[in-house]
């Protein structure tokens, strides 16, 4: 595996962790606290928060690996497009399958979907910046 794959993986993981923090610990925190108080969600004291870091590692690696396999070297647009496709694949099932099976408010599912789409587009842009554009693609 090449240097760009590992650099991209680390960059995607850092940005994913940062955007996860902003989305879940800043923007949606009050919503989550209401759901914890109602007994619908576990609180941080449950000791399961480490799972988020492990899944972020796995998703970041495969996000970068899949990008590298289809990389054409066309620049930022390629990364944004990839992030959009990956986001649609991941967030549609995550947000709406959870809504279908857990009694969360629809507004939360919608926010997960929308914020997740923004997050994945940003991640696509990040990985495309690591890989850069090639002279052949620009010509």
Q: Which domain holds residue 56?
A: 3-138
Report the C-alpha gap between 116 and 118 in whole angstroms: 5
The count of structural domains within the chain is 1
Q: Between vectors from CA 24 to CA 18 and to CA 27, what angle results, nearest 5°?
A: 100
Q: Which residues of the chain have pLDDT under 50?
A: 137-139
Q: Provide CB contacts within 8 A for 126, sequence distance 6+.
A: 8, 11, 12, 15, 79
Report the C-alpha gap between 29 and 34 in whole angstroms: 9
In this structure, are residues 117 and 88 in contact, taking their beta carbons and an 8 Å threshold? yes
Provide the pLDDT for residue 87.
Answer: 98
Provide the pLDDT for residue 71.
Answer: 92
pTM for the full model? 0.90
């Amino acid at each position: 595996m090449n240097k760009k794959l590992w650099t991209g993986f680390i960059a995607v993981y850092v940005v994913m962790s940062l955007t996860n923090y902003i989305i879940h610990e800043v923007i949606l925190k009050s919503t989550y606290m209401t759901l914890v108080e109602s007994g619908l969600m576990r609180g941080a004291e449950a000791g399961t928060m480490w799972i988020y870091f492990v899944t972020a590692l796995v998703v970041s690696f495969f996000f970068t690996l899949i990008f590298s396999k289809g990389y054409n070297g066309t620049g930022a647009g390629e990364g944004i497009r990839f992030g959009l496709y990956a986001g649609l694949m991941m967030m549609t099932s995550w947000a709406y399958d959870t809504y279908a099976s857990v009694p969360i408010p629809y507004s939360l599912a919608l926010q997960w979907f929308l914020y997740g789409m923004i997050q994945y587009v940003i991640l696509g842009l990040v990985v495309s910046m690591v890989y850069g554009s090639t002279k052949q693609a620009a010509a």
